[in-house]
Amino acid sequence: MREDTRTKIQDVALELFIEQGYEATSLREIAERLGVTKAALYYHFKTKDDIVLSLAERRLSENEALLTWLKEQPKTPETRAELIRRYGELLLRGDQKDFMRFMERNQTSMRHHPTVLRMREVMFALVDELAEPGDPLTTRIRRSMALFTMHAGVWLSQNDTEHTEDERREAAMEVALDLLER
């Protein structure tokens, strides 16, 4: 039950952070939207930063697990393709899409957050693991762009109302896999 309440707080806070911005959202507003007292909210999170940290840590741990998996695999085209698939699956979860939207809309507030900085380091490490020693620069760039193509397919194309989410995901995957081994 306690974890369910934490998740509800995270979901409502993320929703408000996206709607109003991180700086403009208060703990009082989060509590009101949840229909709980501030004291009940404080039981789980003392500050807004604690909420953001919990959201970022969840994403960070998933990316770190992906990096650990990747480092244990042979550097083959099949492994690289599987990384793109796994990363794409992570991005497609609702909470991940919302977190990406939150980060995009609150870049100034979050840019120096330690967990966000660690997330950036893990992304660079994933990109590094896609390359092999001696790869030409164009190959390294293509492989890094393959990873970020999944972002484009999920995040940047949200306003595309002509295509379904599945169509955008499949198109992003096709482009990413093409870039990966061209």
The band of 113, judged by pLDDT with boundaries at 50, 70 and 90, is confident
- Would residue 21 count as lying in a domain? no
Structural domain for 135, as ranges: 53-181
pTM for the whole thing? Answer: 0.79
**Residue 149: inside a domain, yes or no?**
yes
In a domain, 16, yes or no: no
With a cut of 70, say whether residue 94 has pLDDT above it.
Answer: no
Report pLDDT for 1: 43
Please indicate whether residue 153 or residue 117 has the higher confidence score (pLDDT).
117
Residue 164 binned pLDDT confidence (cut-offs 50, 70, 90): confident
Query: Is 99 a domain residue?
Result: yes
Judge whether 100 and 15 are in contact, CB under 8 Å. no
Residue 38: inside a domain: no
Q: Which residues have a Cβ under 8 Å from the Cβ of 22 and sit 6 or more positions away?
A: 48, 52, 102, 106, 109, 110
Q: Does residue 92 carry a pLDDT above 70?
A: yes
Mean pLDDT of 95-105: 78
pLDDT band (50, 70, 90) for residue 49: confident
pLDDT value at 27 more than 60: yes
Which three-class secondary structure string do you get for the chain? CHHHHHHHHHHHHHHHHHHHCCCCCCHHHHHHHHCCCHHHHHHHCCCHHHHHHHHHHHHHHHHHHHHHHHHCCCCCHHHHHHHHHHHHHHHHCHHHHHHHHHHHHCHHHHCCCHHHHHHHHHHHHHHHHHCCCCCCHHHHHHHHHHHHHHHHHHHHCCCCCCCCHHHHHHHHHHHHHHHHHC
User: Do 83 and 130 contact (CB within 8 A), yes or no?
Assistant: yes
Asked if residue 156 belongs to a domain, the reply is: yes
Could you read off the pLDDT of 132-147 as tens digits, one per residue? Answer: 889 999 999 999 999 9
pLDDT at 74 over 80: yes
d(CA 29, CA 31): 5
In-domain check, residue 47: no
Total domains in the chain come to 1
Q: Is residue 143 part of a domain?
A: yes
- Asked if residue 176 lies in contact with residue 147, where contact means CB atoms within 8 angstroms, the answer is yes
